[in-house]
Amino acid sequence: MALRHSFEKTGSFLFKRRGQFPLILFAIAVPAIFLTNNEPFLTSETVYWALLGGSVLLTFIGQIIRSIAIAKSAKQTSGRNTWGHEAKALNSTGIYSVVRHPLYLGNFFIWIGIVCFVGNPWFLIIVSLLFWLYYERIMFSEEVFLEKEFGGEYVKWSLKIPAFIPSWKHYEKSNVSFSFKTLLRREYPGVSAAMIGFLFVDFVRCWVYFGEPKWLWSHGVVLIVALMISLVLRSLKHYTEVLREDDRS
């Protein structure tokens, strides 16, 4: 099999299972926390809150990037489907005139924020490399699909827009309005997952340091808020018309 076809096949396989990346991250976070010197984070409030604040800021930046891409996406351009690539229209304006894969860029910041909260620089380097290898294949297969679907239109756009590092050189304003309904309908799983990610790291860190599970009141608050976000918005999405929009994905 030619290398190009191998990359495309692997990328399609990973695309269908991209939602499992957080599970991989959680699994490797446990030994990383165990091998980290956790004492500064649990004995100094200044160090702990500085670490938490910086980590949450990175995750927030990632969520902002994803929010802009999703809330301003038109119908039939992108979705959360897991069965394979699908697109009937090409996103090429707004944030898509700055970077070709804003959703994956947003994912990187979201999960790197959680990784930074572990407080282990080696873990940060390993996850960054793992993320790149994982998503590089996905981006490759997605671009092969889009080139087949849109031909010269896609090629012309992709040649001037960077894949992952943003550039405003060719910025073009989007005519699609920002939709909070689309944002709430599509992004609540990721927000809840990120909150649980921070909770998971903090819980495991306490367990490793104290030698026994320690459930703090703050853990309960974060868990309840994350579950309520998912429960309320999922119910509105599936059982009401509140978040429905005919002209959005």
Residue 243 has pLDDT above 90, yes or no: no
Domains of the chain: 3-176 (1.20.120)
Residue 16 has pLDDT above 80, yes or no: no
Split at pLDDT 50, 70, 90, the class of 25 is: confident
Average pLDDT over residues 8-23: 73
Q: What is the pLDDT of residues 46-104, one digit of tens each?
A: 999 999 999 999 999 999 999 999 998 876 565 454 444 555 678 888 999 999 999 99
* Lowest mean pLDDT segment, chosen from 71-80, 117-126, 234-243: 71-80
Average pLDDT over residues 145-173: 90
Per-residue three-class SS string for the chain: CCHHHHHHHHHHHHHHCHHHHHHHHHHHHHHHHHCCCCHHHHHCHHHHHHHHHHHHHHHHHHHHHHHHHHHCCCCCCCCCCCCCCCCCCCCCCHHHHCCCCHHHHHHHHHHHHHHHHHCCHHHHHHHHHHHHHHHHHHHHHHHHHHHHHHCHHHHHHHHHCCCCCCCCCCCCCCCCCCCHHHHHHHHHHHHHHHHHHHHHHHHHHHHHHHCCCCCCHHHHHHHHHHHHHHHHHHHHHHHCCCCCCCCCC
Residue 234 has pLDDT above 70, yes or no: yes
pLDDT value at residue 244: 84
**Cα 230 vs. chain centroid, distance in angstroms?**
16
Average pLDDT over residues 103-124: 96
More confident residue, 229 or 134: 229
Residue 33 has pLDDT above 90, yes or no: yes
Residue 176 has pLDDT above 90, yes or no: no
**Percent of the chain's residues with pLDDT above 90:** 62
Split at pLDDT 50, 70, 90, the class of 13 is: confident
- Whose tokens are 């269908």? That residue is 16
